């Protein structure tokens, strides 16, 4: 890692080390999916570093404009850093594209949530490449080439990376006739080594920077636990799960962008900022977000590119006019003056009404030649606080499902303007469980209802955490709570619950069972625990016998059946059942069916 990286980047690196260790084991799909999210996080961090680097590059460009003689050489070196870094970055982008195309047969690029439909599925038409319409990386647009990988399904595929990166076009593998210069893995290590030497040549002997470059661009052989050394390329791409290879490539990109950032910031510190001229500077407005919910604050940075920290500008927010004769701007009516810190104006306004909001102002910057003015205009949209809470099957929550194969009541949540990893939920009179965070899928598990109550109520509230770590409620939804319906009892010989049955079959193979019919949740099984048999004897008298542990007839009950007259009726009442748990055991709460629930049969 480059020195001075943010805590978030350090955390990602630590998780990456855990990934490489876990992927050596036979881990579950859930773990693989979790580490794909690490890859997404690394890509997002890399994008943030790129944005910061762009601002730094603007400083060099502005310096070269203001003093071409003094800063020409430095600006040319910086341009070469940018060019070489972009070249390596795009080479790795192509490797990631090829890897996913080989593993999945299709490639989706961009933000995952922007590609899914209302059911949380990605339409195959959104793929930039597929089996029906395969595309080489070179056929993509420049914008598409820079987009992150949105999805990888075959995460555990251990062949894609070595087939694409350690086998040449003639199907020759490393160690079996292939030349190293024809294999993408060795081409990558060569490029990393070259850029490391280039970076080091510009470090001017700075030992901290040289040490960082050396660590990041180290492609030496890797020592294994048994003491043997293997090539860096084999260690990273042979017999490696696709999700691991993808994350490795993303981490290399992130590390290269970090070193690039360290290097250009080191060169930037050597600029004589007091001599920078601002003739062609522009007013820049950078909002934290352009999507704001009602009641929240819109925040934005307003500043001049290549600004001088020793000369803070005056920044005014409001309407303005331009005098073509004097060539000066002036404010109109009421306006605000921003607080300026290190050349950046801090703008914040609490929103109320919804809709598109325009705002504008003027930046006045004094230098040795006088005061220069830079007008600016920007906009943001204020949206209502809204959270979508969608029960997957019905708007009723049932109790007792947590021990079944269903596990609970499925629900889906989403909030416009927020990623699914920024959302969380809470539930009154119950609890929730995440099933698929990336798709916003949860299980709602209401508390058991008291015996005195038929129905209850639960409220599910959705929260969103913004990029600054602030958590806020986005909406809620009321749900009715009911007990899971009682199952219907039946004899396995006659599921119609009534009719003629053979006495011999009833005695030899008859079982009392229970089934939940016409219920929206599949996988809810019931087990008959207790029941009472009532039958006539030869003298017409009623007799009863009780089964206290199971669905089979007891010896006493069989004796009653054998003594019952032909064409007489028998009744099974006082039935107690248990829900079958997902582990297959009947360790759930007993439930006694309604006294009016009776199985009536006639003996043949």
Residue 463 has pLDDT above 60, yes or no: yes
What CA–CA distance (Å, rounded) separates 463 from 573?
Answer: 49
Q: DSSP of 545-567, one letter per residue? A: EEE-SSSBPPHHHHHHHHHSPTT
Phi then psi dihedrals of residue 331, to 5 deg:
-80, 150
CA angle 76, 77, 81 (to 5 degrees): 115
Q: How many Cβ atoms sit within 10 Å of the Cβ of residue 129?
A: 22
Radius of gyration over every alpha carbon of the chain, rounded to an integer in angstroms:
35
What CA–CA distance (Å, rounded) separates 232 from 210?
Answer: 21
Rounded to an integer, the average pLDDT of 305-314 is 67
Mean pLDDT of the chain, nearest integer? 83
- pLDDT given for residue 585 in this prediction: 61
Residue 191 has pLDDT above 70, yes or no: yes
Q: Which two structure tokens, joined as six digits, stand for 467?
A: 């990029």
- pLDDT given for residue 30 in this prediction: 66
Residue 267 has pLDDT above 70, yes or no: yes
* Burial class (CB within 10 angstroms; exposed 0-12, middle 13-18, buried 19+) of 133: exposed
Least confident range from 105-119, 210-224, 243-257: namely 105-119
The label of the residue with tokens 């006739």 reads: 177
pLDDT class for 4, splitting at 50, 70, 90?
A: very low
What CA–CA distance (Å, rounded) separates 161 from 93?
Answer: 14
What CA–CA distance (Å, rounded) separates 293 from 380?
Answer: 11
What CA–CA distance (Å, rounded) separates 351 from 300?
Answer: 13
- pLDDT given for residue 1 in this prediction: 39
The label of the residue with tokens 């997902």 reads: 582
- pLDDT given for residue 249 in this prediction: 95
- pLDDT given for residue 253 in this prediction: 94
- pLDDT given for residue 87 in this prediction: 96
User: Do 492 and 450 meet the contact criterion of CB atoms below 8 Å apart?
Assistant: no
The label of the residue with tokens 């009472």 reads: 532
Dihedral over alpha carbons 60, 148, 241, 194 (to 10 degrees): -20
- pLDDT given for residue 365 in this prediction: 82
Residue 274 has pLDDT above 80, yes or no: no
Element containing residue 446 per DSSP (H, E): strand 441-446
Dihedral over alpha carbons 234, 235, 239, 244 (to 10 degrees): -130
Report long-range pairs for 158-163 (Cβ below 8 Å, ≥24 apart): 158/239, 158/240, 158/241, 158/242, 160/99, 160/102, 160/103, 160/242, 160/245, 161/99, 161/237, 161/238, 161/240, 161/242, 161/245, 162/237, 162/238, 162/239, 162/240, 163/102
What CA–CA distance (Å, rounded) separates 492 from 326?
Answer: 98
Residue 472 has pLDDT above 80, yes or no: yes
- pLDDT given for residue 189 in this prediction: 95
- pLDDT given for residue 19 in this prediction: 54
What CA–CA distance (Å, rounded) separates 387 from 50?
Answer: 32
Residue 277 has pLDDT above 50, yes or no: no
- pLDDT given for residue 220 in this prediction: 94
Please name each of the domains of the chain with its CATH number. 7-275 (no CATH), 283-383 (2.60.40.10), 388-483 (2.60.40.60), 488-603 (no CATH)
Among 95, 81, 138, 44, smallest CA distance to 256 is for: 81
- pLDDT given for residue 495 in this prediction: 47
Least confident range from 64-73, 173-182, 199-208: namely 64-73
Helix, strand, coil percent values for the chain (each to nearest 5): 35, 30, 35
pLDDT class for 309, splitting at 50, 70, 90?
A: low
Residue 342 has pLDDT above 60, yes or no: yes
Which of 3-7, 274-278, 312-316 is most confident?
Answer: 312-316
Provide the CA 82 distance to its chain's centre, in angstroms. Answer: 31
What CA–CA distance (Å, rounded) separates 571 from 533?
Answer: 6
Q: How many Cβ atoms sit within 10 Å of the Cβ of residue 530?
A: 18
In terms of pLDDT, which residue wins out, 305 or 601?
Answer: 601
Compute CA distances 597 → 38, 303, 304, 445, 466, whole Å.
Answer: 54, 77, 80, 28, 54
Q: DSSP of 297-340, one letter per residue? A: EEEEEEEETT--TTSPPEEEES-EEEETTTTEEEE-SS-EE-EE
User: Do 421 and 37 meet the contact criterion of CB atoms below 8 Å apart?
Assistant: yes
Rounded to an integer, the average pLDDT of 217-235 is 91
pLDDT by residue (tens digit) across 132-164?
Answer: 899 999 999 999 999 999 999 998 899 999 999
In terms of pLDDT, which residue wins out, 220 or 453?
Answer: 220
């Amino acid at each position: 890692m480059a020195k001075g990286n943010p805590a978030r980047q350090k955390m990602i690196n630590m998780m990456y080390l855990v990934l490489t260790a876990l992927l050596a084991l036979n881990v579950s799909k859930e773990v693989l999916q979790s580490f794909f999210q690490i890859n997404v996080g690394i890509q997002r961090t890399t994008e943030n570093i790129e944005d910061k680097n762009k601002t730094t590059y603007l400083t060099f460009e502005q310096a070269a404009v203001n003093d071409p003689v003094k800063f020409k050489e430095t600006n040319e070196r910086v341009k070469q850093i940018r060019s070489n870094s972009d070249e390596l970055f795009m080479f790795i982008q192509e490797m990631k594209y090829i890897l996913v195309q080989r593993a999945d047969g299709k490639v989706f690029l961009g933000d995952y949530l922007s590609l899914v439909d209302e059911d949380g599925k990605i339409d195959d038409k959104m793929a930039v490449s597929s089996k029906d319409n395969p595309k080489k990386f070179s056929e993509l647009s420049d914008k598409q080439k820079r987009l992150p990988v949105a999805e990888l399904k075959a995460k555990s595929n251990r062949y894609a990376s070595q087939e694409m990166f350690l086998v040449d076009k003639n199907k020759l593998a490393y160690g079996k006739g292939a030349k190293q210069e024809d294999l993408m893995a060795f081409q990558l290590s060569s490029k990393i080594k070259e850029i490391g030497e280039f970076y080091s040549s510009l470090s001017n002997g700075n030992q901290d920077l040289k040490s960082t470059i050396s660590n990041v661009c180290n492609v030496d052989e890797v020592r294994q636990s048994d003491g043997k050394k293997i090539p860096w390329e084999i260690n990273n791409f042979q017999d490696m799960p696709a999700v691991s290879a993808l994350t490795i490539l993303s981490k290399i990109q992130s590390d290269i962008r970090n070193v690039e950032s360290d290097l250009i910031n080191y060169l930037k510190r050597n600029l004589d900022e007091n001599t920078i001229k601002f003739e062609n500077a522009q007013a820049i407005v950078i909002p934290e977000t352009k999507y704001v919910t009602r009641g929240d604050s819109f925040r934005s940075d307003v500043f001049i590119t290549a600004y001088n920290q020793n000369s803070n500008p005056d920044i005014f927010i409001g309407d303005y006019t331009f005098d073509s004769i004097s060539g000066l701007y002036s404010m109109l009516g009421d306006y605000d003056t921003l607080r300026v810190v290190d050349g950046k104006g801090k703008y914040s306004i609490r929103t109320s009404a919804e809709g598109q909001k325009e705002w504008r102002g003027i930046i006045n910057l004094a230098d040795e030649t006088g005061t220069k003015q830079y007008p600016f205009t920007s906009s943001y949209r204020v949206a209502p606080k809204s959270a979508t809470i969608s029960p997957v099957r019905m708007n009723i929550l049932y109790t007792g499902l947590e021990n079944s194969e269903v596990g609970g009541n499925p629900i889906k949540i989403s909030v416009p303007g927020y990623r699914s990893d920024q959302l969380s939920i809470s539930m009154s009179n119950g609890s929730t469980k995440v099933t698929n965070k990336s798709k916003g899928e949860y299980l709602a598990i209401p508390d058991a209802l008291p015996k005195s109550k038929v129905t209850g109520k639960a409220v599910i509230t959705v929260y969103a955490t913004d990029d600054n770590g602030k958590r806020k409620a986005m909406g809620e939804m009321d749900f009715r709570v009911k007990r899971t319906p009682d199952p219907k009892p039946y004899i396995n010989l006659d599921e119609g619950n009534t009719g003629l049955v053979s006495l011999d079959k009833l005695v030899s193979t008859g079982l009392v069972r229970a089934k939940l019919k016409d219920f929206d949740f599949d996988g809810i099984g019931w087990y008959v625990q207790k029941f009472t048999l009532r039958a006539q004897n030869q003298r017409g008298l009623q007799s009863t016998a009780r089964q206290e542990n199971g669905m089979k007839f007891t010896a006493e009950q069989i004796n009653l059946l054998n003594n019952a007259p032909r064409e007489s009726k028998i009744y099974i009442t006082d039935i107690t059942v248990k829900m079958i748990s997902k582990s297959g055991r009947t360790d759930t709460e007993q439930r006694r069916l309604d006294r009016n629930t009776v199985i009536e049969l006639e003996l043949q």
